[in-house]
Amino acid sequence: MAENNASFVRHELIKEQVPPVSQRGVVKWVSENLISSPFNVIMTLLSLWIIYSIIVNSAPWFINGIWDAKSVRECYDILDGVSGACFAVLKERFPQLIYGFKYPSTEYWRPNIAVVLLLAALAPVLFRKLPQQLLGFSAIYPFLAYWLIWGGTPLVAVIAFLGLAFGIYCFRRFSARSFAFGVIIAVIAASFFWVLGGYLSEANETFLALEAVPSRDMGGLMLNLLLGTIACSISIPLGIVLALGRQSNMPIIKWICVIFIEFIRGVPLITLLFVANVILAFFFPPDTSIDLILRVIIMMTFFNSAYIAEVVRGGLAALPTGQYEAANSLGLDYAQSMRLIILPQALKISIPGIVNVSVGMLKDTTLVSIISMFDLVGMIRGPILATSEWNGVYWELFGCAAAIFFVICFSISKYSQWLERQLETSNR
């Protein structure tokens, strides 16, 4: 019997060796990502050159920027031939950029509070993890914001809110018997309340009144945000209704919706703003004057709702027919099946699209500067660049406007991506 005592059998593993230098750490990353092929080397060098030239050209401009000057002449005098920005214009005209040039400067705190409260009102809508009782505040917010921004007596806003609440209460009460009956009663009740309240608020115009600011005095970034928020918040429900109408099997209702949506989507926003500016007044009763901002809001809401309707229609079409059939087989009527089964799923699919459309709307509010309203861009092109002090400081002003919009729109689109991940419930 041969004794097997081969001593070369190892009983423990050899220690793992460190990978060669070319296969680890920075060297591996660089060789894989930056210089894997001659073409890649060229691209890397090209990009580095682009980054370098941007930095070299813009860094001194930023670093030498002048923050304290009375006019562009003074800026150039201080700079003395060196390349540099004249940020002084942003500092000096800051209130104009934000609030427009007519909003009374003693009342700037009102829009400020309105924006802070807007964030508070949006929070429970945007983040479902917050306590949902906060939604009550979101419901009150539009009326509060109206009072804060436009001023006047709070009675108008209070009565509008109470009338709405009364209408909804009546609807809840009577809709059990019949949907149509509930709606009719609610509308009558609310209108009755508003007419009565109208007399009350006219009689007490000075009660707790803030200084009233007419719409034409709104301007600057405030106007952009105002138009964007109002148009978006009204157009989302309107868009959903239009989308449902387009899906309807009642031909007349379907065609009304189709013609509306396709007409609005077929023309540029600027022509709709022309309509708001010069034509819409012809369609209101004679001797009424509806101010421009309201006419613009009407047209922007129509515009946005047509696009939202298309997005929602995409969401509705993406649902499998089985969902509709399941809702029917449970014996739900149209309103119930839409509210409980179809819309929650369809809206979930359409959230990214709705957010994209809304971001687009916010960006498009700058177009009102073309019909000579003084929003952020309108302020820059009109009252600021036209003055002799700041004539010619394009870069700083447009750069600032671009940066403001970038921050707002980029964060909204990041939020929508986050929400999409949150709502992802499938197992994929």
Residues near another protein (CB under 8 A) are: 29, 32-34, 36, 40, 43-44, 47-48, 50-51, 180, 249-253, 256, 262-263, 265-271, 274-275, 278-279, 281-286, 359, 363-364, 366-367, 369-370, 377, 381, 394-395, 398-399, 401-402, 405-406, 409-410, 413
Residue 283: CA atoms inside 13 Å, Cβ hemisphere, count? 8
| Closer residue to another protein, CB minimum distance, 141 or 174 | 174
Q: Which residue has the tokens 């007596």?
A: 153
Smallest gap from residue 155 Cβ to another protein (A): 30
Smallest gap from residue 401 Cβ to another protein (A): 6
Q: What does DSSP assign to residue 375?
A: B
Smallest gap from residue 326 Cβ to another protein (A): 19
Smallest gap from residue 106 Cβ to another protein (A): 31
Smallest gap from residue 296 Cβ to another protein (A): 15
The sign of the CA dihedral 234, 238, 239, 241 is positive
Smallest gap from residue 23 Cβ to another protein (A): 17
| Closer residue to another protein, CB minimum distance, 383 or 399 | 399
Smallest gap from residue 29 Cβ to another protein (A): 8
Q: Which residue has the tokens 């400081």?
A: 393
**317-319-321 Cα angle (round to 5):** 95
| Closer residue to another protein, CB minimum distance, 37 or 321 | 37
Q: How far apart are CA 393 and CA 231, in angstroms?
A: 32
| Closer residue to another protein, CB minimum distance, 59 or 402 | 402
Of 98, 94, 123, 124, which is closest to residue 112 (Cα–Cα)? 98
Cα 35 versus chain centre, distance: 42
Q: How far apart are CA 58 and CA 177, in angstroms?
A: 70
| Closer residue to another protein, CB minimum distance, 44 or 64 | 44
Smallest gap from residue 317 Cβ to another protein (A): 13
Helices (H), 175-212: 179-203
Query: CB neighbours of 73 closer than 8 A, spacing ≥ 6?
Result: 389
Smallest gap from residue 256 Cβ to another protein (A): 6
Torsion of CA 336, 341, 343, 345, to 10 degrees: 170
| Closer residue to another protein, CB minimum distance, 285 or 322 | 285
Q: How far apart are CA 63 and CA 38, in angstroms?
A: 37
Q: Which residue has the tokens 């989302």?
A: 236
| Closer residue to another protein, CB minimum distance, 249 or 425 | 249
| Closer residue to another protein, CB minimum distance, 141 or 274 | 274
Instruction: Give the 3-state secondary structure of residue 420.
Output: helix
| Closer residue to another protein, CB minimum distance, 35 or 419 | 35
Query: CB neighbours of 308 closer than 8 A, spacing ≥ 6?
Result: 235, 236, 238, 239, 240, 242, 243, 354, 357, 358
